[in-house]
Every structure is written in C-alpha cells, then in structure tokens.
C-alpha cells in the first residue's frame, strides 16, 4: 500500500507543485484556503536516518478528520473517514467537543452536515450532536455524504440536509 502524506499549502500560491518521493513516502501538496489553517501543533520529525530533526506542523486528530470530510480522496474514502471517527471516539483519541468546535470554524459548511449525520449514526451524546444541528446548512443544494460514491440512489436526510449516497453496509463497515 502506498504511503501518501498530504501537505496543505495556502491556495494563494498558484504554482502547481509536483509530488515528491522521500524515504518511502509520497508527498502530495494540496491547496487549501487560509481559513483552513488551524487545529495543528508542532511535532519534531526525524529524517535522514536520524541526521536531521525538523519541527513540523501536523493537524490535530479532530482537524485531520474535518479535512478528510472535506476531501475524502486524500484519506482512503468515506468508509475510512467514518471508521476513523468511530475509532477515535471509542479510544479517546478524538474529543467530540473539539471536533464540533473545529467543524463550526471550518469554512466549508457542508462539513457540519456530513459530520452531524455521521455522529448521529454513531450514537454520540445527544447534546453534542444537537449543537451541530443548529448550524446545518439549509440553503442551496444539500452536500453529498460522499463526493465520489455513485449518486443515482442518493436520498436526502431531512435532519442533516445531506444527500446520503452510501449504503448502510458501507457506512457501518467504517466501524
């Protein structure tokens, strides 16, 4: 399985960057708006077989999940994203409160719809899910739960105003 690291860069840099291969990893540069640059902390990374130590900004688990909800192609698909949410909540690696707070900051409001639907289906505490419900985007066409799954059989979930285009089995296999 290829090991891909997505590196977020501000979208005001118009120059297209090539993928870079280094020490068994593929690095892909992904343009993001400046509003998405939050929810990260500095980590020391070791490279060149221990010869180099570099401070690198890495997304916190909650922010990484939101980025994956925004572009599931960078994270292995929506089943992987749903599984990461469920595993992270179960083992305490993801804070439901921080996940909701970060979702409300995220510039793509469709994230709230997707996240709310997934959290409600995952049985997260009602109070946390209710916080998101008040921020559901109701104008415009509802976002699809998955941007890449077939759309022919999609149905609209009225609570979360999201077009559910995944089967129950594919949603549950993320668990």
Q: Closest by alpha carbon to 3, among 19, 29, 27?
A: 27
Average pLDDT over every residue of 166-172: 85
Torsion of CA 53, 57, 58, 61, to 10 degrees: 130
Q: Is pLDDT at 6 greater than 60 in this prediction?
A: yes
Q: Is the pTM of this model over 0.85?
A: yes
Please give the residue that has the higher pLDDT: either 66 or 125.
Answer: 66
Q: Is pLDDT at 94 greater than 70 in this prediction?
A: yes
* pLDDT band at 131; cut points 50, 70, 90: very high
3-state secondary structure of 157: strand
CA distance 54 to 157: 45
List, in order, residues 6 or more apart from 42 with CB less than 8 Å away.
55, 56, 57, 58
The two structure tokens encoding residue 166: 């995944």
Q: Is pLDDT at 153 greater than 60 in this prediction?
A: yes
* 74-85 tens-digit pLDDT: 888 999 999 999
Cβ atoms of 116 and 129 within 8 Å: the answer is: yes
């Amino acid at each position: 399985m290829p090991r891909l690291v997505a590196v977020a860069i501000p979208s005001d840099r118009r120059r297209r960057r090539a993928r870079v291969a280094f020490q068994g990893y593929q690095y892909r540069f992904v343009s993001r708006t400046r509003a998405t640059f939050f929810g990260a902390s500095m980590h020391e990374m070791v490279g060149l077989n221990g010869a180099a130590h570099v401070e690198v900004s890495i997304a916190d688990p909650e922010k990484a999940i939101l980025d994956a909800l925004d572009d599931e192609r960078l994270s292995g698909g929506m089943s992987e994203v749903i599984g990461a949410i469920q595993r992270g909540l179960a083992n305490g690696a993801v804070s439901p409160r921080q996940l909701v707070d970060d979702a409300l900051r995220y510039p793509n409001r469709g994230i709230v719809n997707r996240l709310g639907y997934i959290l409600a289906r995952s049985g997260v505490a009602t109070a946390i899910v209710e916080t998101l419900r008040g921020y559901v985007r109701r104008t415009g066409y509802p976002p699809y739960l998955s941007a890449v799954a077939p759309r022919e059989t999609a149905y609209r979930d009225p609570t979360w105003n999201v077009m559910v285009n995944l089967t129950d089995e594919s949603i549950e296999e993320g668990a």
